A and B are shown apart, each in its own frame.
Chain A
Amino acid sequence: MRVVVADDAALLRQGVARLLTDAGFDVVGESATADDLLDQVRTRKPDVAIVDIRMPPTHTDEGLRAALEIRASHPGVGVVVLSQHADVGLAMKLLDGSAVGVGYMLKESVVDSDELAEAVKRVAQGGSVLSPAIVSQLIGRPRLDDPLERLTPREHEILALMAEGRSNQGIAERLDISERAVQKHATSIFDKLELPAGANDHRRVLAVLRFLRPY
C-alpha cells in the first residue's frame, strides 16, 4: 500500500514513515510543505496521504486546505489528517458532506503503530477514521432530554465505535461479538434516535455525526 507523509517537523515525519515501513507500508514520499505534498500526490499516486494540519508558511490551515484539495481532485486517494488538538469543529469541517476515505487523528495517537496502521488501511479502503477524543466529546455533549439515555450501555459503546468510522465487522472484532449482533444493536440505536437506517458505512457515519453535532 503506497503512502505519502507530510509534516514540516522532520523528526516526526521520519518517525511516522519508519513506523509505517515497519508495519509493511510502502512510503513513497515525504513532504515538508503543502505544495510539495500536492505535487507528490499527483506524481506518485499514493493510496493514502498523511497530512499534518499545520504546515508552512503560516502554520495555520495549509494542511487542512491541502487535505480538502486532495479529497476534491483525487477522490481515489485517502487522506488522514493529523492534529495536535482534539477539535470537534475542525474534524467536522474535514468530514463535511462525505466520510469516504478520510480520517482525523490526534498526533499523539500515531505513536501507537497499530492504531496508525489500522487507520491508514481503513481510509485506503474508502472508510473513515475519527479520533476517539473527538467522538467522546460529541457523545458526552449535554442534550435536552438526552436521547442517548435511552440507549443501553452496549448500544452506547457501539454508537461511539460507529462514530469513529468502524464497520460492523470492525466493531464485532473490537467487542468480540458476532457481526449479526452488531447489526441488531445498530438497528435498535437508529430506531431509538429516530435516524434513517444507514445503507452503507460512510452514510451511517454521517448520519450519526449529524445527530451528535451541536450545529
Chain B
Amino acid sequence: MGVAKAAREAESHTARAPRGWVVWAIALAGCAAAATSFVLALNSDHVNEPGLQAALMDWITLPYIVAGLIAWRRRPESRFGPLMIVAGFVMFMSTLAWANAPLPFTIGQLFDLLPAVLFLHIFLAFPTGRLQHALDRVLIGVGYFTAVGLEVVGLMLGGFGPDNLLEVVSEPAAAHTLLQVQLVTLSALCLMGVVLLFSRRRHAGRLRRPVALLVDSFALGLVMIAVLFVTGAFDGPHFETIRRATFFVIGLAPAAFLVGLLSARLARSAVADLLVELRHDPPPSELRAALARALRDPSLTLAYWLPEYESWADLDGHPVLLSELADGRATTLIDRNDAHVAALLHDRSLDDEPELLDAVVAAAAIALENARLHAELRARLDELRGSRARIVEAGDSERRRLERNLHDGAQQRLVSLSLELGLVARRLAPGSDEEQLLIAARDELAASLKELRELAQGIHPAVLSDHGLTVALESLATRSPVPVALHVAVDGRLEPPVEVAAYYLVSEALTNVAKYAHASRAKVDVERENGTLIVVVADDGVGGADPDGGSGLRGLADRVEALDGHLRVSSRPAQGTTVRAEIPCA
C-alpha cells in the first residue's frame, strides 16, 4: 500500500524510541527495585505484615514500569510512558522508609507522599504526557511543593523516630500539624484534578471506550488517595483497610492501559473488516460510519479538500472549518502525492494509536479519494446552481425595475396629462371644434396608455410581485385562449423566485396548449405540499410535445432546476400533455 501518508498535525514532535538496551536496563532495574522492596520489608523492624505490604507496593511499582516502557516504545514523542516509569520508581523509593538504616529510611520518608502527586500528574497529562492547561501546571506545582518541600521541613522539625537524619529541632507537635496540612492539601489537589478533567471531558463528547476505562480507573484511584490522606491526617477509622484498597485501585490503572493496548490489537481485525467492506464499494455517504467503526470513535467526522476553493468541505460540499476544534479533538490530515485528500476529525486519544490510524487510512485511501471527488462535485454543483439562480434572479429584478419605472413614470404622467386635458375640455364650449380636437387627442392618449399597459405587463407581471401567485394565476387563466379550469391551493406568499418560476411555467404551458396542443380544455393545479410547490398543467390535446424542443419548455426547466426543483413533461401522442413541476419552497 503506502499510497496514503498520515501526517499528524496535533503533536508533531519527532522523538526516537528508546533503544533496546535502555528498555532492558529499566526493566531489570524495576525487577531489582521490586526485589529490594521485599527484602527491606521482610527485614524491617517497624513494618507490620511485611509480605502483604511489599506485595501491594510491587503491585503498583512493576505494572507502572512495564506499562510505561510499552507506552514509551509505542509513542516516543509522548512523555506519558516516561512519567509512568518515574511513578513506578518513586513508589519504590518510598519503600526505602522500611529500611532499618537511617540514610535509606530518611530518603524513603522524603519520598513518602510524592507518588500521589505523580499519579495526579499522569492523570492530568493524559494522553500526551504534557500539561496542556496553565491551571494544571499550577495544581501539579503546588502538589510537588507540598509533597517534597514541606516534607523536608517536616523532617527538620523532627518526628518520624530516631532514624531521621534531617532532624534539626524536635518539635513533634509542629511536625504533626504540618503533616496534616500536607495531607489535606494533597487530598484537595487530587479531587480538584478529577473535577477539572471530568468537566473538560464533558465538553469533548463521547469518549472512546478503552480511554474511558483508563480515565475512570485513574480518577477512582485519585479519589481513594484523597480519602486515605484525610483519614490519615485525622486518625480516622479503618486506615489500614483503606490504604490497601487504595493501593489495589492505583495498581489497576496500568491494567486498564494494557487493556486499551489489547483492544488496539483487536482493532486490527476491525481494519480487516473495513477492507472487506470497502471491497463492496460502499457509497461515499457510508464511508464515515465504516471508518468510525474501524477506529472505534463514534465522534469521527470527515472533511475533504477542495483544491479549487482551497478549503475543506463535508461530503455535501458545504464548507468545514478545521480550525474550530473542540477540546479533546484532533485532526489527522490524509495526503496523497503531496496533495491533501481528506482530514479525519477525531477524538484526541486516537493520536495514541498511530498504527491503527495509519492502517485505516491506508485501507480507505481509494474510498476517501472517491468521496473527495464526490464532495468536489457537490460543491461545484452547488456553485453552479447558485450562479444559475442568481442569473435568473438578476434578470427578473431588472424586469421588475423596468416595469416599476414605466408605471411610476410614463404611465403615471400620461394619465395625469389625460386628466388635465379633460379639465381643459370642460372649459370649452360643448360641440366646438376645439373640444372635438381635444377629445380626439384624449382617445389617442387612451390608446397609447393601453399599449403601454400591455408592454409593461409583458415585461413583468406586476400583479404577481405585488399580490402573489393566486391572484396572478387567475388573471392569467382568464386571458388563456383555451378554456382553463384553475385550482390554486397556496396560502400566503412564497419566495419571489418560486412565484416567478411557477407563474412563467403556467404562462408558457398555457401558451403551448393554445399554439400546438389542439386541446379543447386545460387544467391548472397549483398546490403547496410539505415544503414543495407542485404545479401541474394538463391538456386533452394531441400530445407529442418534445420537452427538449424549441417549445420554451427547456428554458422553464432551467428556471425550475435553478431552484433545485424538477420539471417533468409527459406527452404521448393522442393522450394530451402534462407538465408537472416540483419546486422546493421552505
Which of A's residues lie within 8 Å of B, judged by CB?
A: 9, 11-12, 15-16, 18-19, 22, 53-54, 59-61, 64, 84-90, 92-93, 107-108, 110-113, 137-138, 141-144, 213-215
Contacts and interface: CB of A to CB of B under 8 A. Distances in A.
Given A60-B466, A138-B478, A214-B485, A85 B457 contact: yes
B481 A142 contact: yes
Contacts of B411: 84
A69 to B, nearest CB: 15
A8 to B, nearest CB: 9
A30 to B, nearest CB: 15
B470 A107 contact: no
- The binding surface of chain B is classed by DSSP as helix
A9 B467 contact: no
B325 interface: no
A85 B457 CA distance: 8
B5 interface: no
Nearest to A112: B422
Contact of A89 (B407, B416, B465, B471): B471
Contacts of B521: 144
Contacts of B412: 9, 11-12, 84
Interface of B: 404, 407-408, 411-412, 414-416, 418-423, 426, 442, 446, 449-450, 453, 456-457, 462-463, 465-467, 470-488, 520-521
Given A113-B422, A142-B481, A214 B453 contact: no
B486 A108 contact: no
B422 A89 contact: no
Contacts of A84: 407, 411-412, 415, 453
A86 B416 contact: no
A88 B453 contact: no
B425 to A, nearest CB: 9
B419 A110 contact: yes
A19 B520 CA distance: 47
30 contacts: A11-B412, A11-B416, A12-B419, A18-B423, A53-B466, A59-B466, A60-B466, A84-B407, A84-B411, A84-B412, A84-B453, A85-B453, A85-B457, A87-B463, A87-B475, A88-B474, A88-B475, A89-B471, A89-B478, A90-B471, A93-B471, A107-B415, A108-B418, A110-B419, A111-B419, A141-B483, A144-B520, A214-B474, A214-B486, A215-B485
A215 B486 contact: yes
A108 B446 contact: yes
Contacts of A110: 419
Given A142-B483, A144-B520, A214-B485, A90 B418 contact: no
Contacts of A141: 478-480, 483
A46 B140 CA distance: 86
A73 B482 CA distance: 40
A85 B408 CA distance: 13
A61 B416 contact: no
Contacts of B442: 111
Contacts of A18: 423
A90 B463 contact: yes
A85 B414 CA distance: 14
Contacts of B421: 111
A112 B481 CA distance: 31
Nearest to A133: B450
A141 B471 CA distance: 16
Contact of A142 (B426, B462, B473, B482): B482
Contacts of B482: 142
B486 A54 contact: no
B479 A137 contact: yes
B272 to A, nearest CB: 66
Contacts of B488: 215
A18 B483 CA distance: 44
Contact of B453 (A86, A92, A215): A86
Nearest to A10: B416
B415 to A, nearest CB: 5
From A89, A92, A110, A142, name the one whose CB has the most chain B CB atoms within 10 angstroms: A89
A104 to B, nearest CB: 12
Contacts of B480: 141-142, 214
Contacts of A9: 408, 412, 416
A11 B521 CA distance: 46
B449 A213 contact: no
A143 to B, nearest CB: 5
From A9, A86, A215, name the one whose CB has the most chain B CB atoms within 10 angstroms: A215
A215 B422 contact: no
Contacts of B423: 15, 18-19, 22
Contact of B467 (A11, A16, A90): A90
A54 B466 contact: yes
Given A15-B419, A108-B415, A144 B474 contact: no
A16 B418 CA distance: 11
A15 B466 contact: no
Nearest to B452: A84
From B412, B426, B481, name the one whose CB has the most chain A CB atoms within 10 angstroms: B412
Contacts of B463: 85, 87, 89-90
A11 B416 CA distance: 6
Contacts of B416: 9, 11-12, 15
From B414, B423, B472, B520, name the one whose CB has the most chain A CB atoms within 10 angstroms: B423
Contacts of A113: 422, 426
Given A22-B423, A54-B407, 10 more contacts: A12-B412, A12-B415, A53-B466, A60-B467, A84-B411, A84-B453, A88-B474, A89-B471, A89-B473, A215-B488
Contacts of B485: 214-215
A61 B466 contact: yes
B297 to A, nearest CB: 53
A142 B423 CA distance: 39
A92 to B, nearest CB: 6
A54 B520 CA distance: 37
Nearest to B487: A215
A87 B422 contact: no
Contacts of A111: 415, 418-419, 421-422, 442
B536 to A, nearest CB: 15
Contact of B472 (A16, A53, A89, A214): A89
Contact of B477 (A64, A85, A214): A214
Nearest to B466: A60
